[in-house]
Chains A and B, each alone.
Chain A
Amino acid sequence: MARRDTKLRRTGVSRRTALMGMSAGLASLAMPRLGRAADDTIRIGFPTPLTGPFAAEARDQVKCAELAVKLVNDKGGIGGRKVELLVRDDKLNAGEAATRTLELIEKDKVHAIVGALSSAVQLAVNEVTRARGVIYVSISQSDTINEVKDFSKYTFHEALNPHMTTAAVARQTLKKGMKVAHLVADYAYGHEMLRGFKRAQATIGAESVGEILHPFGAPDYSTFMPRLMSLRPDVLCISNFGRDQANAIKQAVDFGIKQQMKIVVPVILHNQRLAVGPDVFEGVVGGANYYWGLETQNKTAAEFNAAFRAANGGAIPTDYGAYGYSGVGSLLQAMQAAGGTDTDKVIAALEALKYDLTKGPQQYRKCDHQSVQSVLVLESKKKSAMANDNDLFTIVASDAGTEDLLRSCSELGHAT
């Protein structure tokens, strides 16, 4: 045995030496070309959960991010430099996302990161980018990313945050004296939405009668339904995301919950409404950053829809897709204004930027880099009221984007 080991080790070493020599030779041949490419192209890293319960939303993010890149490249790029989008699957896992982000920064030498879909995962990405001094435009809902603890000058937040969405939804659905029950996914997103709803309830004067936290990614919600019904609320707020939303609403409807109370969600998801059909979602009210039907009242939305349709065979963009477009789009506009990828110049350009990519004017607030933007409140249509397969929602309200929708800079701990 001992002799065989030595022999193996010896061949191993010699092979490794040979490989090293060969790769060094290859590298010296390839280097000049690689080096030139590295100088030319602007690379944007895009981690997003292509697999797992948010896959549908993630895929739309990618499509729209690619569209934003394509439109810039079609016009000759940024200062003559082509833009490249490097999409990575973060598998909805904070550790995976951190590894992929680090790889994008160290190995692929990206100039900025845009992406993530889960509130917990985006914080992991943010940890990496701020430690490395790389710009990160988050396109996932989060309140904590605005707070001084997680904030850095490199951190930008294009998505809505739970405070904005829950306040807008509560204004349309809750009234003084109403009883509200909560079914909440037991992780950052759910907790932040719950906090947002309770804050809005306090302002309006509605009362909480119960809160049930459910495990993230649970396929069955039947065991929570008898309890929720026994609380006899007027409104049930279901604060979860992706397939959890579809499954929870579907099973609530199976139990006849809609006959007793109104179902309200912080964010009503286009893809999940498609996944369970109109009858299940009928009458459910929720917030949204974007809905394609905005095109009848908003010129930018019409243009965005048209560009997306042209690039995707007539399909329409969805809510989370629009984040991918505006997240990458706003960053590229800032790079355009900064005349390149110099991090400090791009940050200054982002802070000064006024952009209108999907639904009207937006801008990043200076203190916390939160995008000030409009919030939509949508109600799911019943089947007979749908004009076509994509006619999913009625726009109940469209709150114009002002700083009043946000928590104040001083509340978040920023110097004012």
Chain B
Amino acid sequence: MDLSLIIMQLFSGIALGAVLVITALGLTIVFGMLGVVNFAHGALFMIGAYAGLYLASLTGSFWWGLLLAPLLVGAFGMLIEFVLVRRLYGRSIDDPLLLTFGLSYILVEGVRIVFGSDGIPFPTPSQLIGVVDLGVGFFPKYRLFVIALVAVVLVALWLTLEKTRVGLIVRAGARDPQIMRVLGVDIGKVWLAIFGLGVGLAALGGVLAGPMRSVNPEMGTLVLAEAFVVTVIGGLGSIVGAVIAGLMVGICISMVALFAPEMATIVMFALMAAVLLVRPQGLFGLKGRA
């Protein structure tokens, strides 16, 4: 097995991991801060892809779709929080889980009714068609772009959470919402924004995945499972965990694809089982949290 092939696999793995990171991040943030397991996350990923496609064809530019779809779907997420999820805070964890589970069915069926159950082509933006010579082999430009964009989003997110006043409120709100209320912070608004952010990230994942896969109503189903695996490996609620675990899963799938391709899907579940045996709370999870 020559080295250049292994380096190429590494790149494929990181590109695969990048989309996993973005989707898992939304899931883990919403769980970590709100204690809500969002089962509609995969469906919202799919909505993101359709919204991106629709907006791109409306404006004639992929870039507008990429920018607007996460914002619009994020706003839709805030509406979901405001109208539905909000009523279930403080109840057992099953209630919002069941709510979002039902919601995912409605969203998938809704898209089937509006856009049909066939796949729809999502063309790669013309600037990113083609391959780049990495010295060890050719790699699609678009996948490199995805890696770069995800890195930028991660840095921006980290800076906001760690270095700004808003980030401080969010982190404190996750720790102890009651004290925050006493201190005069409208925690309801914070939760609204967090849910919107989580959904927006799912939508961003969907738009980014669009040009790599066929866009269809069921495209979110497997993504939800993958995102769960990543959050569980990384530790439920942990942002760093989601990033590390996402890349780990991507690279793992890619390496296994090289040596035992038919095992490429199973491997992430095996990895999850192995991590849970050693650290039941996940790599970066807090004990007793999950």
Judging by beta carbons under 8 Å apart, are A254 and B262 in contact?
no
From A226, A255, A276, B119 is in contact (CB under 8 Å) with A276
Judging by beta carbons under 8 Å apart, are B118 and A271 in contact?
yes
Give every chain A residue within 8 A of B139 (Cβ-Cβ). Answer: 255
Judging by beta carbons under 8 Å apart, are B9 and A226 in contact?
yes
Q: How far apart sit A55 and B217, CA to CA, in the bound complex (Å)?
A: 10
Judging by beta carbons under 8 Å apart, are A255 and B138 in contact?
yes
Judging by beta carbons under 8 Å apart, are B138 and A56 in contact?
no
A-side interface mostly: helix
| A409 close to chain B: CB less than 8 A | no
Q: Chain A nearest CB: distance from B141 CB in Å?
A: 9
Q: How far apart sit A415 and B206, CA to CA, in the bound complex (Å)?
A: 55
Most buried by B among A55, A217, A219, A255: A219
Residue of B nearest to A254 (CB): B140
Asked if A226 meets B8 with Cβ closer than 8 Å, knowing A55-B117, A254-B140, A271-B118, the reply is: yes
| A246 close to chain B: CB less than 8 A | yes
Residue of A nearest to B212 (CB): A251
Q: How far apart sit A279 and B218, CA to CA, in the bound complex (Å)?
A: 24
Judging by beta carbons under 8 Å apart, are B121 and A277 in contact?
yes
Q: Chain A nearest CB: distance from B15 CB in Å?
A: 7
Q: How far apart sit A255 and B141, CA to CA, in the bound complex (Å)?
A: 9
- Interface hits, A206-221 → B, CB 8 Å: 212-215, 217-220
Judging by beta carbons under 8 Å apart, are A222 and B124 in contact?
no
Judging by beta carbons under 8 Å apart, are A212 and B212 in contact?
no
Give every chain A residue within 8 A of B266 (Cβ-Cβ). Answer: 215
Give every chain B residue within 8 A of A255 (Cβ-Cβ). Answer: 131, 138-140
Residue of A nearest to B222 (CB): A219
Give every chain B residue within 8 A of A250 (Cβ-Cβ). Answer: 212-214
From A55, A224, A254, B261 is in contact (CB under 8 Å) with A224
| A142 close to chain B: CB less than 8 A | no
Q: How far apart sit A161 and B13, CA to CA, in the bound complex (Å)?
A: 36
Give every chain B residue within 8 A of A219 (Cβ-Cβ). Answer: 213, 219, 222-223
Q: How far apart sit A274 and B140, CA to CA, in the bound complex (Å)?
A: 23
Q: Chain A nearest CB: distance from B6 CB in Å?
A: 9
Give every chain B residue within 8 A of A53 (Cβ-Cβ). Answer: 218
Judging by beta carbons under 8 Å apart, are A275 and B131 in contact?
no
Q: Chain A nearest CB: distance from B80 CB in Å?
A: 24
| Range of interface residues on B (Cβ < 8 Å) | 35 or more
Asked if A229 meets B138 with Cβ closer than 8 Å, knowing A56-B119, A243-B119, the reply is: yes
| A146 close to chain B: CB less than 8 A | no
Judging by beta carbons under 8 Å apart, are B213 and A223 in contact?
no
Q: Chain A nearest CB: distance from B210 CB in Å?
A: 11
Give every chain A residue within 8 A of B142 (Cβ-Cβ). Answer: 254
Chain A-chain B contacts (Cβ-Cβ < 8 Å), number: 114
Q: How far apart sit A218 and B222, CA to CA, in the bound complex (Å)?
A: 9
Q: How far apart sit A272 and B264, CA to CA, in the bound complex (Å)?
A: 23
From B2, B8, B124, B219, A254 is in contact (CB under 8 Å) with B124
Judging by beta carbons under 8 Å apart, are B212 and A220 in contact?
yes
| B12 close to chain A: CB less than 8 A | yes
Q: How far apart sit A254 and B16, CA to CA, in the bound complex (Å)?
A: 14
Asked if A272 meets B16 with Cβ closer than 8 Å, knowing A51-B218, A52-B218, A218-B264, the reply is: no
Judging by beta carbons under 8 Å apart, are A222 and B143 in contact?
yes
Q: How far apart sit A51 and B117, CA to CA, in the bound complex (Å)?
A: 9
Q: Chain A nearest CB: distance from B13 CB in Å?
A: 7
Q: Chain A nearest CB: distance from B157 CB in Å?
A: 24
Judging by beta carbons under 8 Å apart, are B213 and A214 in contact?
no
Judging by beta carbons under 8 Å apart, are A227 and B213 in contact?
no
| A111 close to chain B: CB less than 8 A | no
From B5, B16, B130, B262, A222 is in contact (CB under 8 Å) with B16
Q: Chain A nearest CB: distance from B180 CB in Å?
A: 40
Give every chain B residue within 8 A of A274 (Cβ-Cβ). Answer: 118-119, 121
Judging by beta carbons under 8 Å apart, are B264 and A214 in contact?
yes
Asked if A220 meets B261 with Cβ closer than 8 Å, knowing A56-B119, A254-B142, A276-B119, the reply is: no
Kindly supply a per-residue 1/0 record for chain B positions 213-231, scoring 1 wherever the CB is within 8 Å of any chain A CB and 0 otherwise.
1101011001100000000
Give every chain B residue within 8 A of A279 (Cβ-Cβ). Answer: 123
Asked if A227 meets B5 with Cβ closer than 8 Å, knowing A53-B218, A56-B118, A256-B130, the reply is: yes
Asked if A226 meets B213 with Cβ closer than 8 Å, knowing A52-B218, A212-B261, the reply is: no
Give every chain B residue within 8 A of A246 (Cβ-Cβ). Answer: 119, 214
16 contacts between A and B (CB under 8 A): A214-B262, A215-B262, A220-B16, A222-B12, A223-B257, A224-B257, A226-B5, A226-B8, A243-B216, A256-B140, A271-B118, A272-B214, A274-B118, A275-B118, A276-B119, A279-B123
What 4 A-B pairs are tightest by C-beta distance, nearest first?
A275-B119, A223-B257, A226-B8, A277-B121
Q: A223-B13, A226-B12, A271-B118 are in contact. List 17 more A-B contacts (CB 8 A).
A: A56-B118, A215-B262, A215-B264, A219-B222, A220-B212, A222-B12, A222-B15, A223-B253, A223-B257, A223-B264, A224-B261, A250-B212, A271-B119, A275-B119, A275-B214, A276-B121, A279-B123
